[in-house]
A and B are shown apart, each in its own frame.
Chain A
């Protein structure tokens, strides 16, 4: 016998629709580079706009070079970033130096622009501990491998900032798949409960390796996951640098003012494979979908916008490209010059003081490595 539903106390469709209605995608620049939301325009000078473009172009080149260096065996682990420049760099652009970034493994560009020298990013990719020796005054963690772990740690960094009375925020990144982790929810919930100055970014690039976002959750947006934690959430066009910047900037202001954390979902796309370790996106994505997203490209629309303003040119872009290539060459040289990492390095770094077993093992490996 079918159960009666006409007397149900919960109008499920209405409840879900009401949630969905709250999460309209913020867009400022459309695909043609036209401003479609004047009132949301962030307050950026021409120089700042040019700098943001410069960083996006530079990072696209860095991505292309990193992929080919990986193929040549000159880089190690690498997770391609093309397509996500607005999402990654416009959010970082809204930060101050004292803000602390806790990246996922695809979020290397943000920490480079936050101060990690390029050669150290290369060393990190190669699996050399010197890549993680973050210079003094650069407020970043090393890219997180465990999906979601950076979210719970961000609550801790942000709570620490609050306790220190710092006017700074902790910002972290994960992907659409990351929002399925318990740590995602624990992180945003802790930060909310402590009213800690944190910004949680979900770069929804549609696929967690191969699993599409509609298989991750029944939630229509990922931003709405903020509701359960009692914190504000917003969905933005992640291919639109101005929307990403505006949302991050707002979140930062709220956090600094003691209003607690914000969850930002950026709708974006990675053009490349998940990582360079054998992933083949043609197994799970169609060329049509790739084309559809490439039309939304952040560099294309931002270039049009800046050209229309008369503050960008092919010449300027070429300068950036040349600069990027030059910097990459120099950074590689510097990375190549690092001494080969030894097991004795690892043994001596594990603890402040070596326990008896490692003291003995140190001697064994010292002998092995002297041959």
Chain B
């Protein structure tokens, strides 16, 4: 076992799959010699050569089209979108093309593409770098959306994403890249997509969350514990499709739930989780399911970012509302 940051675990996952499968290609803006702007592809071009790990011209739609075209030639592309705020430039390739290839060809072709991309607030980026756009992606049928919250999960989930025969959007929260290290096996392992992880067990309230908010929620759970409340924290890990079994089992146990996301409130993942709980477990509920989210604005400029982003205090406050309902 090695101590790894999340970004090291991500690099390790790509290295593992580049070794395992000659059809895996890693490409994007500055991923070659430079190793990516966050060093996610550090050393990969040196190890696997320019044929497998390569820089592209600076055009996201071109990168997406390249990925779809390479899929038609039997490759397994792992393109990087330098920041997920740039996804608007490539959304046709994702939502209009890769996701529809199976249906268009009656199952003859598939697009086993893993679009990797950094996102997430708290690191004072310029505009269009930090937005949580997973809700937008989750409304694209045919793609999976994966968001790891730990180094261990990141490696296992990324290997599974690359091996998946359908398109996967793999979103890496920038604040988590180097915020902590964790024991990560050097050998290969997978974590199934669509499977949540109970990061902390509890009996009084279910906190359903993902990404950086997992850590805010865990911190909140610790504080709640001091006040005598036992909170269960569920890390969705895959936000599309969500792991309905784990969510419902937890809600049936606790009878109370809140959903925490960094994204804006309207539509999105949290709203979907609430709706699914409503559909499937309403009679188990002792209180309405509430959400902790950012406000319904575009992502805040750095000056206002720290207040705009939800934090553990918001989680505690909302959890108490349902606990005392």
Contacts and interface: CB of A to CB of B under 8 A. Distances in A.
A343 to B, nearest CB: 12
A158 B69 CA distance: 8
A134 B102 contact: no
Contacts of B103: 129, 132, 346, 349-350
Given A149-B65, A153-B72, 20 more contacts: A130-B106, A133-B105, A134-B108, A142-B105, A151-B65, A152-B65, A152-B66, A152-B69, A154-B65, A156-B66, A158-B69, A160-B70, A183-B62, A183-B65, A189-B59, A190-B65, A349-B102, A351-B142, A355-B144, A357-B244
Interface stretch (B40-48, B92-100, B227-235): B92-100
4 nearest A-B residue pairs (beta carbon): A156-B69, A152-B65, A160-B73, A355-B241
23 contacts: A129-B106, A130-B106, A131-B106, A132-B106, A133-B107, A134-B108, A149-B92, A153-B65, A155-B62, A156-B69, A164-B73, A183-B62, A189-B62, A190-B62, A190-B65, A193-B56, A193-B57, A349-B106, A350-B103, A351-B142, A352-B165, A355-B144, A356-B245
Interface string A134-161: 1000000110001001011111111111
A310 to B, nearest CB: 44
B248 to A, nearest CB: 11
A187 interface: yes
Interface of A: 100, 102, 129-134, 141-142, 146, 149, 151-161, 163-164, 170, 182-183, 186-187, 189-190, 193, 346, 349-352, 355-357
B213 to A, nearest CB: 23
Nearest to A156: B69
Nearest to A152: B65
A130 B106 CA distance: 6
A156 B73 contact: yes
A134 B105 contact: yes
Given A152-B65, A350-B103, A189 B73 contact: no
A141 B97 contact: no
A351 B241 CA distance: 12
A352 B110 contact: yes
A163 B50 CA distance: 11
Interface residues of B, number: 42
Nearest to A360: B244
Interface of B: 25, 51, 56-57, 59, 61-62, 64-75, 92-93, 96-97, 102-110, 141-142, 144, 164-166, 194, 241, 244-245
A161 B73 contact: yes
A157 B73 contact: yes
B273 to A, nearest CB: 13
